[in-house]
Amino acid sequence: MKCICIAIFTLVIFLGNENLFAQSSFNRFLTPADTFNKNKTLLVASSWATIYTASVIGLSTVWYNDYEKTSFHFFNDNGEWLQMDKAGHVYSAYFQSIYTTTALQWAGVSEKKSAIYGAATGFIFQTTLEIFDGFSVEWGASPGDILANAVGSGISLSQFLLWNEQRIQIKFSAHNVSYTDDLQSRTDDLFGTSFTENILKDYNGQTYWLSVNPSYFIQKENSKFPKWLNIAAGYGAEGMLAGFNNVWEENGEAVDRSDVQRARQFYLSPDIDFTRIKTRSATLKTLFSLMNIVKIPAPALEMNSKGVVKFHALYF
pLDDT digit string (tens) for 207-252?
Answer: 999 999 998 888 766 778 898 999 999 999 999 999 999 999 988 8
pLDDT digits (tens, 9 = 90+) for 126-163: 998 899 899 998 889 999 999 999 999 999 999 999 99
Of 297 and 43, more confident: 297
Contact 177, 204 (CB under 8 A): yes
Report d(CA 255, CA 248) in Å as an integer.
5
On whether the CB atoms of residues 170 and 94 are closer than 8 A, the answer is yes
Query: How does residue 60 score in pLDDT terms, banded at 50, 70 and 90?
Result: confident
Sign of the CA dihedral with 67 first, then 70, 71, and 72 last: negative
Q: What is the percent of the chain where pLDDT is above 70?
A: 88
- Which range is most confident: 8-17, 28-37, 251-260? 251-260
Of the candidates 115, 92, 95, 96, the one whose C-alpha atom is nearest the C-alpha of residue 105 is 115
- Report pLDDT for 175: 95
Q: With cut-offs at 50, 70 and 90, classify the pLDDT of residue 54.
A: confident
Of the pLDDT bands very low, low, confident and very high (cuts 50, 70, 90), residue 21 is: very low
**Residue 22 pLDDT grade (very low, low, confident, very high; cuts 50, 70, 90):** very low
For 41-51, give one letter per residue: b (16+ CB within 10 A) or e. bebbeebbeeb
- Check residue 4 and give its pLDDT: 57
Phi, psi of 185 (to 5 degrees): -65, -40
> For 262-292, what is each residue's pLDDT tens digit?
999 999 999 999 989 988 887 888 788 888 9
Rg, C-alpha atoms of the chain: 21
Query: Does the pLDDT of residue 304 top 50, yes or no?
Result: yes
Give the model's confidence band at 113: pLDDT under 50 very low, under 70 low, under 90 confident, else very high. Answer: very high
**Share of the chain residues as helix, strand and coil, in percent rounded to the nearest 5:** 50, 20, 30
| Residue 101's pLDDT band (cuts 50, 70, 90) | very high
pLDDT band at 31 (very low <50, low <70, confident <90, very high): low
| pLDDT of amino acid 92 | 94
With 70 as the cut, is the pLDDT of residue 3 above it? no
The amino acid at residue 192 is G
> To the nearest whole number, what is the mean pLDDT of the chain?
87
pLDDT of residue 25: 39
**pLDDT of amino acid 23:** 39
Position 38 scores a pLDDT of: 86
